[in-house]
Amino acid sequence: MIEWVHPGLIFIIGALLIPFVRGEWKKAYLLLLPIAALIDLSMMSEGVFWRIPLLEYELVFGRVDTLSLIFGYIFAIAAFCMTLYALHVKEDGQHIAAFLYVGSTLGVVFAGDLFTLYLFWEVMAFSSLFLIWYRKTEASSEAGLRYIMVHIFGGVCLLAGIVLYVQETGSIAFPYPGAGFLWGLGSSYLASYFILTGFLVNAAALPLHAWLADAYPEATVTGTVFLSAFTTKSAIYVLLRGFPGVDILIWLGALTAIYGVVFAVMENDARRLLAYVLISQGGYMMAGVGMASKLAIDGAIAHASCCVLYMGLLFMGAGAVLEVTGRSKLTELGGLYRRMPATFWLYMVGALSVSGMPFFSGFVSKTLIVESAAGLPSPWVWLLLEGASLGAFLVAGLKLPYFTWFGRKEPAGDVYRPLPRNMPAAMGITASLCVLIGVYPQALYGMLPYPVEYHPYAVEHLISMWELLLFSFLGFILVTRMGLLRPVAKITLDTDWFYRIAGRRFIWFCERPLLDFADFIDKMVKGIASFLVWFSRNPTAASRIMLLTMGVVLTKPFNPVYMHYEADLAELRRLYPGEPVHRVAIGMGVLLVVMFFVLYLLIYLTYGVLWT
Amino acid sequence: MMLEEIPAFSAMFGFIGCLLIVALSKILGRWLQRREDYYRWLRSGSGGGEQG
């Protein structure tokens, strides 16, 4: 007897009932759903539940183990904070989209087979799309379309991989942790390559990351907060299950981590800057999955959990500024500290967490991954990850807050909308969770699958981290004095250029040269057909007309008799189709038949001799 | 780790790394940064088949 329900089901069924709850009750109802899911999660025990036979396979909706439980918890906690942040939103549709999104993510987390995984994977993509479209601007509708196209591509890759995998193994089971998909070089691993590509699209790995920086900043204020938590982290979760110890993930992760912060330095839009930081943070976790030592796996899980909270908090802060001022470009912001000091301090908790400042959450999780990278033979991964760490501090901890809340004397903007009170409340709760994990890491470490023997608060770790951050702060002051970090009102091209421009060129090629060619062929065929129709009405007269026309054209320059031909031709054309002349037609018919036979004979005799 | 044994490695790394990241982004920016309405401008331009 199972006394609990699937936590994803609470969100999905709950989402459908939202329109029927009225008034102030709705707010209570919205907050109650994540709490119910949390209570439900706490009652769950490990095992495999909710098996549904389908044809000769078995769908498993509830594979409950340490790994899926910790992701379930963190997603439910994040859903609570983010629902609180979005509580003032009046449109039911936004809440429904968000809850379907959360519910399907939990469906992915507890999926025990690949079909169930794929089902929830697609629901996740389509429900999150509405969080972007509800912004209702032209930019958001276009970005949303590109977003779903990329995710459909990822989904198709995943499906192709699943189909190949099922064909090869005859099983739809999603591998257990430690097992993973078979990995190696060669065509026999094609299924794994497709599945990995599908996962990496959602994890926003280089060069498949551009959808994130393209679409997330165009979503609604509250939608971006939801988006930041679920898609990328659930991708890390499936990578942890499916591809632990795959070497290329180490390098891919390290490069993604540094790429994200370098692009964030160039970015002017505050929320797009944070989107690049989010991409960079995903890089750490991918590297952790690739290294696959006990410490690295623990690190990837812990970092995913912390990242959900502090990235959410950062997007909440930038969203609050957008809500109040209607602006998100750093060139149009500045001097807001007098207006929104509380938002600044709450944002800084998230910023210090992402920077890995001791006593904030990023420090206790990121160091697990960085420490395992230090054990690798090549020092480059470690250097890249450390570089990404100070880069995150530089952009999210210094550049963004400096140019948003300081940077100019007069506060930017003229019209200020009031900040809904639930927003700072949600930020407060998220911030206290970040500090709680930072101060008391055992709360997080205790849930991890392997016992953590690492002590983040050893004195040498503290000193080296503070040195690192202090001196990058000095570097920041230096480059700001030199004017190098001043935001510029420009956009930065990323790999989405390829489908935004090259894709347009491809469509242009289809529309112009390709269609012109098709038209040409079309006209030719039609011309031949209508000629045959015309010819067959009266073949004898038609051949005389053709003959006479040729005679007129050929003799015109030399011979005055063409006048005679021309009169004949005009007469014939006038009478056409006229009475067919049977006498000639029979001879003509025989001639055609004979010609056909001769042609056939030639082909028959020469086949195998002159040509094959 | 060899690198961590260098005295004040973190401090140097923090300072130099910060400058390197900014320098790298400046160099990439010269190549990759465009006007804000770049994509719209391209679309309204010669109507397809244009050079980026």
Judge whether residue A177 has pLDDT over 60: no
Domains of chain A by residue range: 244-489, 495-536, 538-578, 581-612
What is the tens place of the pLDDT at every residue in A5-21?
A: 899 999 999 999 999 99
A578 CB burial (10 A radius; 0-12, 13-18, 19+): middle
B20 touches chain A (CB under 8 A): yes
Question: What local confidence, expressed as pLDDT, does residue A76 receive?
Answer: 96
- Note which residues in 263-322 of chain A have CB less than 8 A from chain B: 263, 265-266
- Note which residues in 323-362 of chain A have CB less than 8 A from chain B: none
Q: Taking all residues of chain A, what is their mean pLDDT, rounded to a whole number?
A: 90
Give the closest of B2, B14, B36 to A467, CB-based. Answer: B14
- Note which residues in 98-137 of chain A have CB less than 8 A from chain B: none
Question: What local confidence, expressed as pLDDT, does residue B51 receive?
Answer: 43
Question: What local confidence, expressed as pLDDT, does residue A1 receive?
Answer: 47
Q: What 8-state DSSP symbol labels residue A54? A: E
B11 touches chain A (CB under 8 A): yes
A386 touches chain B (CB under 8 A): yes
> B-chain residues within 8 Å CB-CB of A468?
10-11, 13-14
Question: What local confidence, expressed as pLDDT, does residue A283 receive?
Answer: 95
What is the tens place of the pLDDT at every residue in A403-460?
A: 999 988 788 777 889 999 999 999 999 999 999 999 999 989 988 988 888 888 888 8
Confidence of residue A148 (pLDDT cuts 50, 70, 90): very high
Do the chains contact at B22 and A394, CB–CB below 8 Å?
yes
Do the chains contact at B10 and A465, CB–CB below 8 Å?
yes
CA distances from A463 to A307, A456, A467, B8, B12 (A): 23, 11, 6, 10, 13
> B-chain residues within 8 Å CB-CB of A479?
18-19, 22
> B-chain residues within 8 Å CB-CB of A513?
none
Q: Which of A280, A472, A488 to mutate to test the interface with B (most CBs of B within 10 A)?
A: A472
Judge whether residue A203 has pLDDT over 70: yes
> A-chain residues within 8 Å CB-CB of B39?
500-501
Q: What 8-state DSSP symbol labels residue A175? A: P
Distance, in Å, from the CA atom of A537 to the CA atom of A176, rounded to the nearest integer, reads 76
A488 touches chain B (CB under 8 A): yes
Give the closest of B2, B17, B39 to A390, CB-based. Answer: B17
A439 touches chain B (CB under 8 A): no
B5 touches chain A (CB under 8 A): no
Question: What local confidence, expressed as pLDDT, does residue B49 receive?
Answer: 45
Give the closest of A374, A474, A511 to B1, CB-based. Answer: A374
B10 touches chain A (CB under 8 A): yes
Q: What share of chain A is helix, strand, coil (3-state, %, to 5)?
A: 75, 5, 20
Report the complex ipTM. 0.87
Distance from CA of A500 to the nearest CA of B (A): 8
Closest CA to A41 of A70, A79, A84, A13: A70
Do the chains contact at A266 and B21, CB–CB below 8 Å?
no
Size of interface A-B (CB pairs under 8 A): 124
Distance from CA of B44 to the nearest CA of A (A): 13
Judge whether residue A96 has pLDDT over 50: yes
Percent pLDDT > 70 in chain A is 97
A586 CB burial (10 A radius; 0-12, 13-18, 19+): exposed
| Bridge partners (DSSP) listed for residue A63 | A48
Which two structure tokens, joined as six digits, stand for A390? Answer: 């100070």
Question: What local confidence, expressed as pLDDT, does residue A581 receive?
Answer: 53
3-state SS record for A306-358: HHHHHHHHHHHHHHHHHHHHCCCEHHHCCCHHHCCHHHHHHHHHHHHHHHCCC
Distance, in Å, from the CA atom of A283 to the CA atom of A235, rounded to the nearest integer, reads 12
Q: Taking all residues of chain B, what is their mean pLDDT, rounded to a whole number?
A: 79
CA distances from A196 to A162, A506, A560 (A): 11, 27, 82
A588 vs A516, residue with greater confidence: A516
Question: What local confidence, expressed as pLDDT, does residue A152 receive?
Answer: 96
Q: Are A214 and A494 in contact (CB under 8 A)?
A: yes
Confidence of residue A176 (pLDDT cuts 50, 70, 90): low
Question: What local confidence, expressed as pLDDT, does residue A585 receive?
Answer: 62
> Which residues 6+ apart lie within 8 Å of A142 measured at CB?
none
Confidence of residue A483 (pLDDT cuts 50, 70, 90): confident
Judge whether residue A545 has pLDDT over 90: no
